[in-house]
Copies of this chain bind each other. A is one copy, B any other.
Amino acid sequence: MAASVAYRPARRPLPASLMSKPVLYAMVVVAMVVSGAQGGSVKHYKWKVDYQYWSPDCVEKVIISINGQYPGPTIRVREGDTIVVEMENLMPTEAVIMHWHGMQQRGTPWYDGAGGVSQCAINPGETFVYRFQAEKAGTYFYHGHLGLQRTAGFYGSLIVDVGRGVQEAFEYDGELSILLNDWWHRSAIEQGLGLYSDPFRWVGEPQSLLMEGRGKYNCSLVSGGDAEEAAGDRPRCDETNKQCKPLVLRVQPGLKYRLRLASVTSLSSLNFQIEDHNMTLVEADGNYVEEVVLDNLNLYSGESYSVLIEAYKQPPGGRKTFWVTAHVQGRLPKTTPALAILVYGDGEATTPVSSPPLAPAAWNDTAFSLRQSRMIVAKKGTIPPPASSDQQIILLNTQNRINGVIKWAINNISLVPPTTPFLPALKFGLKLAFDHTIPPVSYPMTTYDIFSPPKNPNANFGTQIYRFPFNSTVDIILQNANSLTVNNSEVHPWHMHGHDFWVLGYGHGKFNPEVDPQAFNLKNPPLRNTVPLYPYGWTALRFVANNPGAWFFHCHVEAHLHMGMGIVFAEGIEHLDRLPRSTMGCGLTKTWLP
């Protein structure tokens, strides 16, 4: 058994002389495949999942921690390695499921960690072993995927380095990493209750934004009296509290850094900046992109990026410290921006003399966000999409009321994950596990007005799934619309399990199947696993259904998925061998018990 503690990257950069030279990108791709095929080594992690007191923003709450840490331990492996996570659920009453966001789980769809889809929940007291291959180098993360457990703090980074002897497509001297999140004082359980209540209670804007799990709430708003102490809302604002000490990114003058950024926010879209420093975008969701220089970067929940930063040889004004900040974008901001400090050399991490940079655009400037999305294209050498698709489905998202409670629906179906997960239900033909009707592949396009609240906001709860022929090419058009509120349409970052997809294009208004596909980017569409759908707009994507399993495709806003905003699709189930016993034991899979 290997060490139970994750390998942590050294904070200090390697001297440039030790870094190997860049090679042609096409060669890298070949090397990656070979490495993956060879299997790599096995990295074993032993995790204990339990509650923990923590004060991410200096107010103490209860989080779901791994090995007593928050965020959870970083998994760091090489491409082709097998990741084994032995996860013991020590919580007395809560079950858990862990999703490995960005891992495609080829050959192991049962370890995708998706509640209602890939496995039964891991009961209190149980130990469950996840075992899957890290197929592709890149910046990833993992997070709970049952109820709102991501919101409870159940996540961490997952970084896959290129194979041994393989060179990245870009050079750098050192590496930095920030996992971004938003944070509430109300418990995840209570937030979930509000979403199911009549009257509906929205989760509201977060109390804080966090970088690597650290933020700062205005402690003067929390009195710390006996009643609050009893209720579990306790200020821990003294300087000695390391849990909410601002994150420090330390660089050496003149060196070049790869900064890995990932957003595991429950709700917020973010705009990230480093004061007086440009960023060169090089990776998105584990795929290389053409280098583009940005002075700020939008991150939607579920996305990850690498940017290169060049540290000045002589920082302007002789300064040693600069602000690193993230603002809420896409929703009316009610939360103080997240702040970290970039520090040059071995100097003290003191507060920079300047003010933090302001948000680069208005929160509702969709054109600004759209421009940046369109700048992101695949690096030359990336596998291109098939020239045409076998099937196109159009997914209209609407905000609805079912039995008086606000829900989201896709083509009028609000997804309810079933008690028996789809994967064993499909594999073993457990017919009563879900509704076998085919869900609609489009919506009433000629009559539905996407710019107004729905005329008939009723929708149905459903468990129907899409079935795609194995190896077929599928186009999905995500179509946004007005919510239940006049003049309101929200950003929805959609995340696909089990696959990367090519982003073929974005547009405003109603997608026109006759005209819009002519403008699809088939030349260098970026490969992603998460993509934003902008207000009143559409997003088009293409993927190949070549990964046997049952897969979620859903809005990554945790509350939205909880309200039904997602679909499940399946492909190639006939190619699956037996499922691990450990993934079953609930619902109709109990049939086999003595």
Name A residues whose Cβ lies closer than 8 Å to a Cβ of B: 50-53, 59, 62, 91-96, 116, 120-121, 123-127, 146-149, 184-187, 189-190, 192-193, 196-197, 204, 207, 221-223, 225-228, 230-233, 417-419, 428, 562, 578-579, 581-582, 584-587, 589-594
Contacts and interface: CB of A to CB of B under 8 A. Distances in A.
A231 B124 contact: no
Contacts of A593: 581, 584-585, 589, 592-593
A514 B48 CA distance: 49
Contacts of A204: 230
> By DSSP majority rule, is chain A's interface helix, strand, loop, or mixed?
loop
A123 B120 contact: yes
A62 B186 CA distance: 11
Contact of A51 (B189, B207, B582): B189
19 contacts: A51-B190, A53-B197, A62-B189, A91-B147, A93-B146, A93-B147, A94-B189, A125-B586, A126-B587, A185-B231, A186-B230, A189-B189, A190-B232, A222-B231, A223-B227, A232-B233, A579-B594, A584-B585, A592-B592
Given A231-B232, A233-B233, A196 B594 contact: no
A422 to B, nearest CB: 13
A585 B581 contact: no
Nearest to A193: B51
B189 A419 contact: no
Contacts of A562: 92
Contacts of A91: 147
Given A94-B95, A185-B231, A221-B227, 13 more contacts: A50-B196, A51-B190, A51-B193, A92-B562, A95-B121, A123-B419, A125-B419, A126-B587, A222-B231, A231-B231, A231-B232, A428-B594, A584-B594
A418 to B, nearest CB: 7
Contact of A587 (B50, B125, B148, B578): B125
Between A116, A121, A125, the greatest number of chain B beta carbons within 10 A of the residue's beta carbon is seen for A125
Contact of A594 (B190, B230, B586, B592): B592
A221 B226 contact: yes
A92 B147 contact: yes
A95 B418 CA distance: 16
A307 to B, nearest CB: 33
Contact of A192 (B92, B96, B126, B193): B92
A231 B185 CA distance: 5
Q: Which 10 A-B pairs have the closest CB atoms?
A: A92-B147, A231-B233, A585-B585, A93-B147, A125-B419, A221-B227, A581-B593, A51-B193, A185-B230, A185-B231
B124 A123 contact: no
A187 B189 CA distance: 11
A493 B592 CA distance: 41
A463 to B, nearest CB: 11
Nearest to A225: B221
A61 to B, nearest CB: 8
Contacts of A51: 189-190, 192-193
Contacts of A93: 94-96, 121, 146-149, 189
A148 B92 contact: yes
Contacts of A592: 592-594
A91 B586 CA distance: 15
Contacts of A196: 50
Given A186-B230, A193-B62, A578 B594 contact: yes
A394 to B, nearest CB: 30
A190 B228 CA distance: 14
Contacts of A192: 51, 92
Given A93-B95, A93-B189, A419-B123, A590 B594 contact: no
A125 B418 contact: yes
B124 A146 contact: yes
Given A207-B230, A226-B221, A232-B190, A581 B590 contact: yes
A174 B91 CA distance: 45
A594 B562 CA distance: 31
Contacts of A184: 230
Nearest to A97: B93
A225 B221 CA distance: 8
A584 B590 CA distance: 8
Nearest to A416: B125
A93 B233 CA distance: 23
A364 to B, nearest CB: 24
Nearest to A51: B193
